[in-house]
Structures are given as structure tokens and as C-alpha cells.
Amino acid sequence: MKAYAVLVVYNKKLTDCPSFCSAVKEPDVQLLVVDNSTDELIHNQEEARKAGAWFLSMNGNKGLSGAYNAALDRLESESGDWVVLLDDDTVIPDEYWKQLRQEVPDAIRLPVVRTYHGEIISPAEMKHDIPRSAKSLDCISNITGINSGMAIPKRLMLTYRYDENLFLDFIDHQFLKDMKQSGESVRILPVELTQDFSADAENIESAMNRFRILRSDLKVFYRQNPWKFRFLITKRKIKLYLQLRNLEVFCG
């Protein structure tokens, strides 16, 4: 197996990223770090070099789609079996790499991703073009999932480029939607990852900043279905209010 792991980091030291520590240990995995950081005190290039990882600086936060496209441009001429997408807040067990070595790169693989509370957040089911938690992993009729741990046959990434109008959210759902429409298969990788789900903000300022990004991305994703956009935004506002007990969430 030859895999390229793409890790996008934002204002976080590589040594604090469990996925970085996991990928650099694997001899048949070439890690590519794409740094979207805006914090001038974050210096990841030297740490990446010492670990044998490739490094790309985006010179500021260009969004997740922009970072992925820069990574794909860098990997375009490289030969290999897989492109693996890693989040900076996901714990990747050794079993993940062992299982991936047993897989033939004939379909996109989605591992099972849980929050620290045990909730399964990926794979999920796309119902009426809205991602919902799957009741059972055995009978998902229209599979979708998140980027974290997604393993993609490298041949699929030779021509695909992400829509940079999507800054952070629903990039994964759009990618899988595009792939399925082109006839590609998506299968579950029987291994579990654990993610510190970043949507659970604890203060009003960070929550509202995160909400504004979500609102912008949902508007792009549902540009043909504005009622779904309004439905999901209202749902998110109610969730934020119940979480923060602050009426400001309804003003954003």
C-alpha cells in the first residue's frame, strides 16, 4: 500500500494533533501537512520536516476546500493507492492503517467516527439531501459521512477539485454526492475513530463565528433548495440557544 495522508491544521501545533502522531509512524504513509494557521506563534514547518512530512503553508486561512485543492495539486504527479483525509482533532488507532492495507482501492472508504460521548457522526444517511444520523450501519440506503479518516482511491483525485465557495462545512457531503453521481461506490471501513467534534462551541463569540461559517456554506450547498437552507439554519439556532441560553443566537 502507498497512501498519502492530508492533514489540514488551523492555529494548532502539530504535536497537539493525534492524527499527526499516528500518520508519521506508518512507513507506507506519506503525510502532507497543509497549514491554514493565522496565529503567527504557530510554527509547524520545522516539526513537519523533522517527522518526514511534506508541508504546505496557505499563508493564512484559505478555507478547507482551498487547502484540499492545494494538497491535490501537490499530489497530482505522485503515484499511490489512497488519499486519506485527516482532521487535526481525531484519534486514529493503529487498527485503521492495518485495515486500510487490506482494502482494494476500488471504492471510497468511510470509517466509523464517534464523538467522545460515543455518538456516531459518520457514516450517516442522506435523506432528502439532508444528512442525518444513521439508525443502523447495516442498512444505510444513501450513505454520506465526514472527511475525518475518509480514504479515497487516488485515481479519483486526479481530476476532482473542491468547490472553494464552500469554506468549511458540507465539503465532505458535496464530495460524496459528486462521487456517487459519477458512479463511484462508498463503503464502510470496519474500524472506529474518535473525534473531538468542533461544532460544540462553549462560548457565544466562538459559537457565533462558527455559525456564520455554517450559514454561508449551507447557502452554497442548498442554493437550489432555499427552504432546506432555512430549515437547517433555524434548527441550528435552536440547538445553539439550548446549549448557550443566549438569545443573541437568534440575531445572527
Domains of the chain: 3-195 (3.90.550.60), 204-251 (no CATH)
C-alpha cell at 79: 503515484
- Partner residues linked to 9 by β-bridges: 35
Q: What is the pLDDT of residue 70?
A: 98
Find the DSSP H helices in the chain: 18-23, 45-51, 63-75, 94-101, 171-181, 204-221, 226-244
Q: What is the pLDDT of residue 243?
A: 80
Q: Which amino acid is at 213?
A: I
Q: Which residues of the chain have pLDDT under 50?
A: 199-201
pLDDT digits (tens, 9 = 90+) for 177-215: 999 999 999 999 999 999 985 544 457 788 888 999 999
For the beta carbon of residue 25, count every other beta carbon within 10 angstroms: 13
C-alpha cell at 133: 444520523
User: 240: burial class by Cβ within 10 Å (0-12, 13-18, 19+)?
Assistant: buried
Q: What is the pLDDT of residue 219?
A: 98
Instruction: Note the pTM of the prediction, 2 decimals.
Output: 0.94
The DSSP code sequence of 10-62 is: SS--GGG-HHHHHHTT-TTEEEEEEE----TT---HHHHHHHT-EEEE-SS--
Q: What is the pLDDT of residue 199?
A: 46
